[in-house]
Structure 1
Amino acid sequence: MRATVLLLGVLLSVLSAAGMAANKTGQVEQRLYRYQSADGAMAISATLTEAAIHAGYQVLDQHGRVLETVAPAPPEEQARRRRELARQEQAKAQARRDGELRRLYAGPGDAERARDRQLQALQLNVDYAENAIQQLNGKQDEEIRKAARAERAGREVPDSVRDAIERYGRQARENREKIKEYQEDMVRVREEFSPIIQRLRDLEAR
């Protein structure tokens, strides 16, 4: 209750001091506000920032004379206000993300289809690499048989055969590495789409 009363007093002071004020002769005087800015410098302005309202400020006349000094808001009220501002900022950020999702996807079903298209493309790459490995293994086996026949006949294994065995083995290993990467990409796609789809479901349920 004490914090609420103090805050009300602060806000009333702001409202009473805001803008112009009439002096004793009836002329309108410009009122200014002096407060400490976020970087620690002293600022003078015709308007007050949120931070200045809670941190305290001085009301000046057009000649720079201090008309009123407004004390800072109580620490508990400042903390509450900071929490409220943080909550508002989080809500704004979530609203921006939701807007982006709605522009990208008509709904959760649309996002699921986009996910499935990516997974299918990656699976095609896996299938292609697996087929390539089978072909490479077959070619390597044939070269190994050539090398075995040459050795049984007491001949030197040709360099071309040795090179082919090494090349087909290397290419098969490279394709196995590609398969591993494609499978990791499939896991990543599922993980990335999971919160997107769930958020779109939540929005649709509302």
Structure 2
Amino acid sequence: MRLKQPFILFLTGMLSATGADQAAAQSLYKYKNHEGTTVISSNMPSEFVRLGYSILDRNGRVVETIPPVMTSDQKSQLADLQSLRAEQERQTELDQELLFLYGTPDEIDGAKNRKLSEFDQKIREMQNLEVIMAKNIDDKRLQIKKAGEKAPEYLYEELDNLKDQKQTYKDRAASYNREKSLLEKQYTASAERLKKLLKQKNLKDIEVVSREQLIGQWRIREDIAMDWNLDASGSFDSFFQQLGTHASEKSFGTWQLSNNRIILLINRKQQKDAIGDEESRRVSQEKQIQVLKATDSELQLLMDGKAINLFRS
């Protein structure tokens, strides 16, 4: 029997739909319920979607991870983090330009003195012109006084023009003084910044740090959250999280101090992904961190090429 074309198309559509349903049924969903228990199911309840979940293939491999829906506080925190990162990127550009233009803070001081001298000259010129205008004003007033009631109107107009010119020179001198003051502050700040950059770059003049100064708990809360616990017995544990995310990492091991360098010997890591699943594994990793300065309350480090300040908690 010969099938008609519309019926063939109907059968093809039915088979395609059945195949799609079977493919969808092969996907599994991994999520956590309200009790915190991990659930793997062929159905994804809508009430848990906002908490984040993973999509698994039929072999149990993760093919996609859907992060949790951020709260308004988390969105605000993320916006603050992005703004902070933009500021840090801008500061990095300024630092690179500063290192390119100047080799030492003395060079900045020399450039500052030259610029300040230029402003001093401009200010003196305006002040001299102001004195000249004051003399011309006195002469014009005397001329008007001698003319008495017969003094023509244009003399008064000339007097007003002289007063306006005198005020203009006075205003320019004041403006140059403000620019000079601002420029001096900018150059001074640049010189101080260059000192810090050169210290980080060359690691010169670093005070010797003792082991006792490092023992204790330290933390930072900026674009990252990081906690350190350096124990007197030589063991350590740390916590790290990029703010605005749910993923975090804990490290465990031993530590020692050598030539102002903290040497971390990490033997175990505990990692948490975006949906809260944790994984603990054995590792063998060494990490060296330069100590720039240590006080009773603050620890300045050079970590992965970036200066970081930790504070005693």
TM-score normalised according to structure 1 size: 0.55
Q: Which residue of 2 aligns with 1:116?
A: 113
Could you say which structure has the greater relative contact order, defined with CA pairs below 8 angstroms and 6 or more residues apart?
1
For residue 113 of structure 1, report the CA deviation from its aligned partner. Answer: 1.6
The equivalent position to 2:138 in structure 1, one of 141, 156, 161, is 141
The equivalent position to 1:160 in structure 2, one of 146, 154, 165, is 154
Q: Distance in 1 between matches of 2:196 and 2:135?
A: 52
Q: Which residue of 1 aligns with 2:180?
A: 186
Q: Which residue of 2 aligns with 1:195?
A: 189
Matches within 5 A, 1:78-117: 94-117=91-114
Mark the CA change 1:156 to 1:95 in structure 2 (over 3 Å): closer, same or farther.
same
Q: How many residues align?
A: 138
1:17-59 deviation digits (Å, cap 9, x = unpaired): xxxxxxxxxxxxxxxxxxxxxxxxxxxxxxxxxxxxxx76435
Q: Distance in 1 between matches of 2:89 and 2:130?
A: 51
Which stretches in structure 1 are left out of the alignment for 5+ residues?
1-54, 74-78
Q: Aligned letter for 1:125?
A: K
Mark the CA change 1:110 to 1:157 in structure 2 (over 3 Å): closer, same or farther.
same
Mark the CA change 1:60 to 1:93 in structure 2 (over 3 Å): closer, same or farther.
farther
Q: Which residue of 1 aligns with 2:171?
A: 177
Q: Please identify which structure carries the higher strand content.
A: 2
For residue 204 of structure 1, report the CA deviation from its aligned partner. Answer: 3.3
Q: Which residue of 2 aligns with 1:51?
A: none
SS of match in other structure, 2:61: strand
- 1:128 equivalent to 2:122? Answer no
SS of match in other structure, 1:58: strand
Q: Distance in 2 between matches of 1:185 and 1:178?
A: 10
Q: Distance in 2 between matches of 1:173 and 1:181?
A: 12
For residue 192 of structure 1, report the CA deviation from its aligned partner. Answer: 1.4
SS of match in other structure, 1:106: coil
SS of match in other structure, 2:150: coil
Q: Please identify which structure carries the higher helix content.
A: 1
For residue 96 of structure 1, report the CA deviation from its aligned partner. Answer: 3.9
Q: Distance in 1 between matches of 2:157 and 2:67?
A: 82
* Cα RMSD, aligned residues only: 3.5
Mark the CA change 1:137 to 1:71 in structure 2 (over 3 Å): closer, same or farther.
closer
Q: Aligned letter for 2:160?
A: E
Matches within 5 A, 1:69-80: none
Q: Distance in 1 between matches of 2:170 and 2:138?
A: 17
Mark the CA change 1:94 to 1:148 in structure 2 (over 3 Å): closer, same or farther.
closer
Mark the CA change 1:198 to 1:173 in structure 2 (over 3 Å): closer, same or farther.
same
SS of match in other structure, 1:183: helix
Q: Distance in 1 between matches of 2:91 and 2:163?
A: 51
Mark the CA change 1:56 to 1:184 in structure 2 (over 3 Å): closer, same or farther.
farther
Q: Aligned letter for 1:196?
A: S
Q: Percent identity?
A: 16
Q: Distance in 2 between matches of 1:158 and 1:204?
A: 70
For residue 66 of structure 1, report the CA deviation from its aligned partner. Answer: 6.2
Q: Distance in 2 between matches of 1:129 and 1:115?
A: 21
Q: Distance in 2 between matches of 1:124 and 1:167?
A: 25
Which stretches in structure 2 are left out of the alignment for 5+ residues?
1-51, 69-73, 204-313
